[in-house]
Amino acid sequence: MATKYVYLFSEGNATMRELLGGKGANLAEMTNIGLPVPQGFTISTEACTQYYEDGKINDDIMAQIEEGIVKMEEITGKKFGDLENPLLVSVRSGARASMPGMMDTILNLGLNEKVVEVIAEKTGNERWARDCYRRFIQMYSDVVMEVGKKYFEKLIDEMKEKRGVTQDVDLTAADLKELADQFKAEYKAKIGTDFPEDPKEQLYGAIKAVFRSWDNPRANVYRRDNDIPFSWGTAVNVQEMAFGNWSDESGTGVAFTRDPATGEKKLMGEFLINAQGEDVVAGVRTPQPISELEKVMPEVFEQFQEVCKILENHYHDMQDMEFTIQDRKLYMLQTRNGKRTAQAALKVACDLVDEGMITPKDAVLMIDPRNLDTLLHPTFDPKALKEAPVLAKALGASPGAAAGKIVFTAEDAKEWASRGEKVVLVRLETSPEDIEGMKSAQGILTVRGGMTSHAAVVARGMGTCCVSGCGEIAMDEENKKFTLAGKEFHEGDCISLDGSTGTIYDGIVATQDATIGGEFGRIMAWADEYRTMKVRTNADTPKDAAKAMELGAQGIGLCRTEHMFFEADRIAAFREMICSDTVEEREAALEKILPMQQADFEGLFKACDGYAVTIRFLDPPLHEFVPTDEADIKALADAQGKPVERIKEIIDSLHEFNPMMGHRGLRLAVTYPEIAKMQTRAVIRAAINVNKEATNKVVPEIMIPLAGDSMELKYVKDIVVKTVEEEIAAAGVKLDYEVGTMIEIPRAALTADEIAKNADFFCFGTNDLTQMTYGFSRDDAGKFLDAYYETKIFEQDPFAKLDQIGVGKLMKMAIQLGKSTNPKLHLGICGEHGGDPSSIEFCNEIGLDYVSCSPYRVPIARLAAAQAAIKQEATKVKSAEEKVEEAAKVAEEKISEAKDAIRTATKDISEKLGIFSKNLAIEAVKFTDAAIAGVKTGIEEASKQYDKK
C-alpha cells in the first residue's frame, strides 16, 4: 500500500507525534476530545523527508494534498478561491520537537484581489478584509519569498506618517487597500513576477517554504544544540482561519496553564484585541495579561479556563496554548507541553506528583537534565546587589543573573564572546536570525516584547538570563548606543541583568554560587532512588571536590595531577625536574614536589570523606610546563646551575610535531619512572595520613593514563605497586588501594582482555578516545567541522555527544573483553561526555559503574543517570518479553524435531520388530503430541508469570 502522507485532524491523535509533528498530533488530539479547533489537515514529516530525497513535492504527495484540500472544503463548506464562500487557511510548520528558528506562520492564505472584495462585501467588514490581505501579502513575501519584512514595515510607517496616525489600527480600509497595492508593487520589484493570485499556488509555495525552513541555518544550529536529527523532518499544518482581527470582540493570545517562569499553578498569558497571532509573538504591540480577558469577555474567559483544565488533565502536564477569538467565539490553535524554566520544571513536576497526576518516576523523566544547568549558575551576591545602582525594572523573562559588556548585534555578541568577553546583548527585539548571538551572550535585554516574545521564549529554552519589554530604553541601534535613566550607554559599557526580577543594574554586579534545595532536592532524591550508576566528579582541588560533594558527587572520578604542577609554588621545582640531565637531578627535583603533592591529596581525601578518589598520574607532554620567556629560562638555568643554552637545548628537544600523539601519559612513566614513583608515594602517604584520623577510610585509586599495550601498562603498574607496597610496609599500616588505567587509546580497547589483567578498573577517557578514533584533534577540527555541519555529514559535535557508533563500539568491546579476563573490573567514564545526558544514557546501557563530570554537572548527571536507569529497566522488560517469545519459538522447533526423531525411531524399531508397527507408531505420535502440548502450556505459564513482574 502506498504511504499515507496527508492526515485530516480527525484522523490523527497525540501518539502520532513522530509522523504529524507535535503541533499536528495535538491539533488532532484536541479535535478528538471535542475542543473547538478550526479543521484542516497535516502533511506528515515523512513527506518532508521525501521532499528532500526527491528535491520536490512528488506527484503522490501532491495528489494526497489535493485530496486533503477537497476533504477540507467539504468539512468547512468553503472553497479555495471561491467567490461565494472562499476558504482561507493558515500554514504552520510543526516538527516532532518544538523548534524555534523554523518557518513563521502564514495566515490568511487564499486571499487575492477578487476574494478580498468578496469577503469585504459579504462580511460588511472591509477594514478587516483589507487588513487580512495586506498582512497576507506581507507574510507571504517575507516568509515564503524572503523579501525582508523591513521593506513592508517602512511602507506602513510612511502611510501612518502620511495619515498622521501612530497605531496600525488607526489606518482605514482605504489606507490598507492602498498599502496592499504598494506591497504588491514592492513584491514585483523584488521578485520580478506578480504576487500569486491562485490560492493553490500560494498554498504550495507556503508548504515548500515550510519544508525548506527545516534546512535553514538557524534550524540547523538549533537542532545541533538540541540533539534533533535532520532525518526527523517537519510536518505542515493547513488549518482553516479563525480571525482575531475580525473586530474589537475578537483577538488572539497565548497562555500557559502554569507560570512558565516559576511553575506556580495559575493561568498565565497574554492576548491582544483585534489582532492576529504574529502580533503577539513578534512583540510589536505589548499585549494585555490573560486575566484582563475576564473583564473584556467573561464568558470566553470561563470557557478558556475550562479548556485549560481539560488539557492539563489530558496531558498530565502544564500546557502552552495558542487561541483566537473571532466574534466572541473561542478557537484553539495549538496546545503543547509548555516550555518552562528549570525552576518551574521542578516545581511543576513536584506539584503534579502532589496533585496525584503523575508518579515520582514520571516526575524524574519530566525534567530535561540539561536545563538544571541554569539552577546551578551563580546568582547575584545579595551584598553586592544592595549597592548596585538600579537603572530600570522590566519583565523578568528568563531567570538567572548576567553581567557583561553591552553589544548591539548578534554578530558582535558572537565575536566578542569568542574573544573571551562576557557580553549582554541589547536589542529592540530579537528574531530567529539572532539565535547564535543569543547563545554567546551572558544575558539578553530587549526594548519590546512580553513574556512570550521571541527573546523570552528562546532565552528560557537556552537557560540564558533575559529581561524583556524595557520600554524606557531610548534605542539607537544604528549608532550602537542607548539612553536609560538619563545615562547614555555605548558598546562595551557594563550592565547587569536579573532575569528573575527583571531589574537592570549599572555596571558589573558580583555573583555567587547556587545552592540546591526544595523541589530541586526532592527531584534529586527521587533520581538517586532510581539510578544505578554512581556519579563522581572531575576535581583537582579540595574546593572543587567539596562543591561537587555538596552537589551529590560520590567521590572523585578524575583528579588531574598536572594542574597542581602549574601552581606558582611548584612550577619551579617541576621545571627543574624536566630540565634534569640525570636521574639523580630528576629525583632531587621530585623530592621537592613530593610533600606538596601529598598535601594536595590529603586535601582531596578529606573533602571526599571516604568516597573513592581516582588520581590520574601526570598526563600532558612536558613541553607544556617549560618557560618560554628569557627571564624565566634564566631563572631556571640559575636554579639548576646550568648554562642558559643547555636549558634552551632541553626545551627545544621537547618540541613535538603532534603533541596529542606524543611523549605523554604513561609514556612519561616509562621513560621517567621516578615521576610515577613520586606520585605514588604522595598518594599513599596522604591516604595513610588521612586515614589515621578519618572514620570513613579512603581507598585511593591510582589511574595510569594513555595505556595502549598490556606490557606497557604492566611495566608502569609494577613500578606503582612496588612503590605502594614499600610505603605501606614502611608505615606499618594496612591500606586498600586500586591501580587502574584510562581507556583512551583505541588499541587499549581492542586489547582490553590483556589490559584488564593489569587493571583493577577502566576509566574511559572519551575525549582522547574520540580524537584517536576519529583521527582528528579537537584543537584543529574547528577548521573543517563547520563544513561538516553545513553538509550535514555531522549533526552533532562528537566531543559533546558521545559517538555511540564508533567510539561506543570500542567502549563496548573494551568492557566485554576486559570483563572476560577480569570479572571484578569496575568501569567509569571521565571524559566530558560524563556530564552529557544522552551520553550518560549510553554509559548506563553498556554497564558502566559510574560517570564522572565537572562539579556543576553532577546534579545533571544524577538526573540523567536516573532517567537512563528507568528507561533501561523498561527496555529490559521489553527485551525479556521478546526473549521469552524467542525461546518459545525455539522450543517449539526443538519439540518438532524431537517428534520427528521419535517417529523415525519408533518406525525403525517397529519395522525391525516387525510387529504392532501401526499401533506403535500411532501411540508414539499421541504420546509426543501430549508432551508438546505440555511444554507449550509450561511456556505460556512462564510468560504470564513474567508479565506479572
H or E element in which residue 771 lies: helix 766-774
Q: Tell me how far CA of residue 592 lies from CA of 361, 540, 597, 670, 781, in angstroms.
A: 53, 20, 10, 21, 39
Cα–Cα distance, 771 to 709 (Å, whole number): 18
| Residue 378 or 659 having the CB closest to a copy of itself | 659
All three cell numbers of 597:
603533592
- Binders of a copy of itself in range 786-805 (CB under 8 A): 787-788, 791-794, 803, 805
Residue number with CB closer to a copy of itself (566 or 916):
916
Enzyme catalytic residues: 454, 830
- Is 722 a binder of a copy of itself (CB under 8 A)? no
CA dist., res. 348 & res. 553, Å (int): 26
**Number of CB atoms found within 10 A of residue 1's CB:** 3
How many amino acids of this chain bind a copy of itself (CB under 8 A)? 64
Q: Which is nearer to a copy of itself, 382 or 782 (CB)?
A: 782
Q: Is 185 in the site for a copy of itself (CB under 8 A)?
A: no
Query: Which member of 711, 823, 918, 948 binds a copy of itself (CB under 8 A)?
Result: 711
* Binding segment (CB under 8 A) for a copy of itself, from list 160-168, 233-241, 722-730, 745-753: 745-753
Sign of CA dihedral 429, 435, 441, 442: positive
> Min. distance of Cβ 665 from a copy of itself in angstroms?
8
In the block, cell 546501557 appears at 845
Neighbour tally for 129: CB within 10 Å: 27
Q: Which is nearer to a copy of itself, 669 or 868 (CB)?
A: 669
User: For residues 293 and 899, what is the distance between their CA atoms, to the nearest angstrom?
Assistant: 77
User: Binding mask 652-671 vs a copy of itself (x if CB under 8 A, - otherwise)?
Assistant: ----xxxxxxxx---x--xx
Q: What helix, strand, coil percent values describe the chain, rounded to 5? A: 55, 15, 30
Report d(CA 619, CA 662) in Å as an integer. 11
In the numeric block, the cell 496553564 is attached to 257
Q: Measuring CA to CA, how many Å separate 312 from each of 292, 308, 698, 923?
A: 22, 6, 50, 65
> Minimum Å distance from CB 829 to a copy of itself?
18
Going from the C-alpha of 938 to that of each of 689, 806, 932, the distances in angstroms are 61, 42, 10
Of 702 and 719, nearer to a copy of itself (C-beta) is 719
List strands edge to edge, sheet with 89-95.
Answer: 6-8, 40-43, 234-240, 89-95, 106-109
200 touches a copy of itself by CB under 8 A = no
**Min. distance of Cβ 925 from a copy of itself in angstroms?**
10
909 sits near a copy of itself (criterion: CB under 8 A): yes
Q: What is the CA radius of gyration of the chain?
A: 34
Of 197 and 779, which CB lies nearer to a copy of itself in the complex structure? 779
Nine-digit cell string for 108: 490568511
Q: Which residues pair with 404 in a beta bridge?
A: 495
- Binder of a copy of itself out of 76, 541, 777, 796 (CB under 8 A): 777
The residue from 138, 561, 723, 773 that contacts a copy of itself (CB under 8 A) is: 773
* Cell (9 digits) for 469: 519589554
Question: Least distance from C-beta 727 to a copy of itself, angstroms?
Answer: 23
In terms of CB distance, is 155 or 924 closer to a copy of itself?
924
Q: Going residue by residue from 871 to 900, which x/- string records binding to a copy of itself, judged by CB under 8 A?
A: ---------------------------x--
User: 427: part of which helix (H) or strand (E)?
Assistant: strand 423-427
Beta-ladder partners of 322: 254, 334
The C-alpha cell of 32 is what? 478528538
The amino acid present at 596, given as its one-letter code, is M
Stretch that binds a copy of itself, among 390-398, 440-448, 733-741, 779-787 (CB under 8 A): 779-787
Q: Which of residues 747-766 bind a copy of itself (CB under 8 A)?
A: 747, 750-751, 754
Query: Can you tell me the distance from the alpha carbon of 172 to that of 165, in angstroms, rounded to the nearest whole number?
Result: 10
Single out the residue of 157, 327, 725, 908 in contact with a copy of itself (rule: CB under 8 A): 908
Cβ–Cβ < 8 Å for 20, 12: yes
Instruction: Report in angstroms how near the CB of residue 751 gets to a copy of itself at its nearest.
Output: 5
Contact segment (CB under 8 A) with a copy of itself among 322-330, 449-457, 498-506, 920-928 equals 920-928
Whole-number Å distance between alpha carbons of 861 and 821: 30
Q: Distance between CA atoms of 534 and 660, rounded to whole angstroms?
A: 30
Contact status: 715 vs a copy of itself (CB under 8 A): yes
Q: Quote the least distance from Cβ 714 to a copy of itself, whole Å.
A: 8
Residue 879 or 919 with smaller CB distance to a copy of itself: 919
Sign of CA dihedral 492, 495, 499, 502: negative
Query: In the range 922-941, which residues lie near a copy of itself by CB under 8 A?
Result: 923-924, 927
Contact segment (CB under 8 A) with a copy of itself among 347-355, 452-460, 741-749, 820-828 equals 741-749
Q: From CA 161, how far away is CA 9, in angstroms rounded? A: 44
| CB nearer a copy of itself, residue 607 or residue 772 | 772
Q: Which stretch binds a copy of itself (CB under 8 A): 449-457, 687-695, 744-752, 848-856?
A: 744-752
Write down the least CB distance from residue 709 to a copy of itself, Å: 7
Sites of contact with a copy of itself (CB under 8 A): 656-663, 667, 670-671, 706, 708-709, 711-712, 715, 744-747, 750-751, 754, 768, 771-777, 779-781, 783-784, 787-788, 791-794, 803, 805-807, 809-810, 898, 901-902, 905-906, 908-909, 912-913, 916, 919-920, 923-924, 927
